[in-house]
Amino acid sequence: MSVLEVMDLKTYFYTSHGVVKAVDGVSFNIEKGEVFGLVGESGSGKTLTALSILKLISFPGRIVDGRILFNGIDLLCSDDKLLRNIRGSKISIVFQEPASSFNPVFTIGEQITEAALVHQRIGRAAAKRKAMEYLERARIGDPKRIYNGYPHQLSGGTKQRAGIAMALVNSPDLIILDEPTTALDVTIQAQVLDMLDEIIHRERLSILFISHDLGVISRMCDSVAVMNKGRIVETGPVKNILNSPKEAYTVSLLESVKALS
Amino acid sequence: MTIIRCEDIKKYFGVVKAVDGVSLDIEKSDCFGIVGESGCGKTTLGKLILGILDPDSGRIIRNTGKMQVVFQDPYNSLDPKMKIFDVLAEGLVVRRSSFVVRNADDVKRKVEEVLDLIRLPKTALKKYPHQFSGGERQRIAIGRAVLTNPEFIVCDEPVSSLDVTIQLEILKLLKNIQKSLGITYLFISHDLRVVKFICNKVAVMYSGRILESGPVEDVYRNPSQAYTRQLLSSSLTIVP
């Protein structure tokens, strides 16, 4: 069964300059244990697709059409209470910028502990142990020091590992990774991707992996959808898309990357 | 002909050794790449060479005419309240004595010439920076740099904030400009693929020092340093 089914999703922004069709009829499925990539250039609608899944679109944007089924639950028809139980618990998200995904005035540990406390029926001590355990799983060298550290005291790579630990702490059914390594140096990116790869396969996680980098997509994903101007122009197994792209846009994207490598 | 020579230059900011004993020679018509990760001192080195910063010790010999710079972020490097004509013309107007512009018509003619080079329509001159995409803005920044007839341009991560298809377009533009105007580049980047595409020489920087340098082909094929090998193996290509 699919963990996530997105059907004909449309998210429009009503601005004074007219309607911007940021997501314009997007459909895809993510199966259990699948790593599904969404690739495209900036402004193609990747992130807004992710935010629509969590129903986090705010004014002047609106989800105008479509259905999103998560484990059979229709998310777009769900009330706020149910959505709050799903966000961060059943579906979690890791953002591009590790510096802005943590609150600067609380320690890393407090924030991960809070995520566990809100969504699980456990006490503070147990939540703390959980947080520590997941920091270790994200291969953070000195988890105790990081637990007590404030976001500004950590490097970008460590902060992003902590962000991933926070996304994992409630054992979600779906994790959205939105450009998780874009802000990192290449050597750090390679380490974080190795770590993610190991966790994803060990725990058979279902992932929506958003990136503008076809190199990262080809390293991490099973299937991929190529987005351009709010639409999916081509989708299929990563191998097929990268070896024999059918659409002109995919071809031009691949050629720009190949010219550089 | 060597147009830039750095001899053991150092620049410390408190305890941070941003540039810690760098020596290099840039020959005329080189595209000299500096590659390294954030915080390794690439940008500081560029600023030292431009004379924006002074080294604490060591010597920089500049045997070049005018120098120019293109920055990473075309959203910050253009004044949001200036029309494109003024953005482009400012360099000519501010230092009028050193150029062959005698009057406003000369300035207008030169600005319009450069529009052809960066492939923007004349209507662009009346617009403001926010009306352009990132790639167009970077073309404007390049046009502004080229207008003052520099012999040497420091390009500090000129494509890293752009989409990959736009990156290619800007790199090709820089290549063409180099070919037609014979400009020498110092090209700073964290992206080994970009450096390989445009540079003929490369120096790998790590914590303020140059670990190794040489022709791009040699360094990429036979990296002598463990760090260079790590950097090369971290860069992802499409392997389905």
Domain annotation for chain B: domains and CATH numbers:
11-234 (3.40.50.300)
Q: Considering the domain boundaries, does residue A221 fall inside one?
A: no
Q: Considering the domain boundaries, does residue A110 fall inside one?
A: yes
From the list A188, A239, A258, the residue facing B240 with the nearest CB is A239
For A185, what's the count of Cα atoms within 13 Å in the CB-facing half-sphere? 18
Q: What is the pLDDT of residue B188?
A: 97
Neighbouring C-beta atoms of residue A9, cutoff 10 Å: 24
Q: What is the pLDDT of residues A51-66, one digit of tens each?
A: 999 999 999 999 999 9
Identify residue A119 by its one-letter amino acid code: H
Q: What is the pLDDT of residue B100?
A: 66
The runs of H, that is alpha helices, within A148-237 are: 156-168, 186-202, 214-220
Residue located via tokens 């540990």: A109
Q: Considering the domain boundaries, does residue A121 fall inside one?
A: yes
pLDDT at residue B98 is higher than 70: no
Q: Has the ipTM of the complex gone over 0.90? A: no
Burial B62-77 (b: 16+ CB within 10 A, else e): bebeebbbbbbbbeeb
Sorting pLDDT into bands at 50, 70 and 90, what band is B239?
Answer: low
Q: How many CB pairs under 8 A join A and B?
A: 73
pLDDT at residue B96 is higher than 80: no
Identify residue A184 by its one-letter amino acid code: L
Name the 3-class secondary structure at B188: strand
Q: Considering the domain boundaries, does residue A155 fall inside one?
A: yes
Q: In terms of CA atoms, which chain B residue is nearest residue A217? A: B238
Number of separate domains in chain A: 1
Q: Considering the domain boundaries, does residue A166 fall inside one?
A: yes
Residue located via tokens 């001159």: B125
Q: In terms of CA atoms, which chain B residue is nearest residue A213? A: B164
The Cα–Cα gap between A207 and A177 comes to: 7
The Cα–Cα gap between A97 and B62 comes to: 39
Q: What is the pLDDT of residue B161?
A: 85
Name the 3-class secondary structure at B88: helix
The answer to whether the CB atoms of B234 and A253 lie below 8 A apart is no
C-alpha A206: how far from its chain's center? Answer: 10
The Cα–Cα gap between A113 and A108 comes to: 9
Optimal mutation site among B72, B164, B216, interface A, most CBs of chain A within 10 A: B164
User: Which residues does A contribute to its contact with B (CB < 8 Å)?
Assistant: 41-42, 185-190, 212-216, 218-219, 238-239, 242-243, 252-254, 256-261
* Mean pLDDT of the B42-67 span: 95
Q: Considering the domain boundaries, does residue A92 fall inside one?
A: no
pLDDT at residue B162 is higher than 80: yes
Q: Are A63 and A13 in contact (CB under 8 A)?
A: no
Question: Global pTM?
Answer: 0.84
Name the percent of chain A lying above pLDDT 70.
100
Q: Considering the domain boundaries, does residue A123 fall inside one?
A: yes
Q: Considering the domain boundaries, does residue A131 fall inside one?
A: yes
Domain ranges, residue A160: 102-171
